[in-house]
Structure 1
Amino acid sequence: MCKVIAAEFLTLDGVMEDPAPWTCSDFNDELGEFQQELLFASDALLLGRVTYEGFAAAWPGMTDETGFAARMNGLPKYVASRTLQTAGWNAEIIRGDVATEVAKLKQEPGQNLLIYGSGQLVQYLRQHGLIDEYRLMVFPVLLGSGKRLFAEPGPRAAMKLISSYTTSTGVLVLTYERA
């Protein structure tokens, strides 16, 4: 059985929206290594439509020396969407009830299903108790407004801190799993 892992860039005040402008100055090799480990410990990406469309527009043309881009491009992707009719970039659209389909995917043998961004999908899966682990990268910035990861009320879920460390640029990296 695999885990569903939500990997999220957050501001200190919980904003996850459009991380590019506020992550660049604090993203370093330490976070790059963390991302590398996450991606290579996963068998597939699980994405919401908006994140999928952004990634599918950017990633196919990328290359790097670490193999990250090749891994990102090569992994299967499952996309939760009610509006997409077709998907490229090695992706399959989840049809029907997303919670049911993700629960089925979790039963398959293998490594992890990794979610990047995809705030609405994370909220929905949290409502259904399907997120097994949160990998939160909390950046030392306050935005004051924007889309928050835990903005919607949801069921109470006890979490257990598995690891934490701070990068040399002040980004707090937290790993929580369901208790």
Structure 2
Amino acid sequence: MNTSHARRIVAQCGVSIDGYSSGPDGPEHDTWLYGHAATEASAEHFEGLWRGCSSALVGRTNYVGFHSVWPGITRDPATDPRTRELGRWLDSVDKAVVSTTLTEAPWENSRIFTDLSTAVATLRSEPGRDILVLNSATVIQSLLAADLVDDLRLSVLPVLLGGGLRLLPEGVSSGWSLVSSTAMAHGAIAVHYRRSR
């Protein structure tokens, strides 16, 4: 498929210095990641990502987790305007969920795909802006293995985890160009790599 005019697959993820997207005790204990996400600098950076995308691609775990918290955050009067706008985007954006176990996707504008390649081919064939993979490490690993990622947008956080879920898969070799890098006040570095084809 000629992807020169197709929608780009933008994989976004927060990682530790040693390359883990989740620590050894699982996502419910990833306070290092939640603290980063709560900063103003991170919210501003992420806004620059999601505003350029009209579809979100996620795995089952993130879909269920996001749906369990974001509608409440969005509707909470105490939520700051930037976070509320993100919540409204998450409500309204076209959400493609890759899962072999989900039988229903109750969040509005959601659809389930049992096969990742089919999901990507379908999304790329439809009109719209870029497709954002939302911090779903296993989906990103599979996309990288199939050479389907166009842009990697990583937030490298100043923490060593020593174990957990590694983001980048073994056995995958590919070339990338640095588009930009930004140092944030709280010590994280946002890097944007583009696949060299």
Normalising by the residue count of structure 1, what TM-score does the alignment of the two structures yield?
Answer: 0.92
CA distance in 1, matches of 2:52, 2:36: 24
Q: In structure 2, do the counterparts of structure 1 residues 47 and 25 end up closer, same or farther at CA, with 3 Å as the change threshold?
A: closer
Equivalent position amino acid for 2:20 in 1: V
The question of whether the paired residues in 2 share the 8 Å contact of 1:44 and 1:113 is answered with: yes
The question of whether the paired residues in 2 share the 8 Å contact of 1:123 and 1:152 is answered with: no
The answer as to 2:184 corresponding to 1:167 is: yes
Equivalent position amino acid for 1:93 in 2: I
1:93 to 112, 117, 124: 112
Give the Å deviation of 1:26.
4.2
Give the alignment's Cα RMSD to 1 decimal: 1.5
Stretches of structure 1 that go unaligned for 5 or more consecutive residues are none
CA distance in 1, matches of 2:69, 2:40: 21
Equivalent position amino acid for 2:156 in 1: V
The aligned runs of 1:23-34 (5 Å cut-off) are: 23-27=33-37, 28-34=39-45
CA distance in 2, matches of 1:126, 1:26: 25
Displacement over 6 Å in runs of 4+: none
CA distance in 2, matches of 1:25, 1:105: 32
Give the Å deviation of 1:146.
0.7
The question of whether the paired residues in 1 share the 8 Å contact of 2:96 and 2:119 is answered with: no
Equivalent residues, number: 177
Equivalent position amino acid for 1:54 in 2: G
Give the Å deviation of 1:100.
3.0
Aligned to 1:3: 8
CA distance in 2, matches of 1:33, 1:158: 28
Normalising by the residue count of structure 2, what TM-score does the alignment of the two structures yield?
Answer: 0.84
> Deviation per CA, 1:110-140, whole angstroms, max 9, x where unpaired?
2111111211111111111111111000000
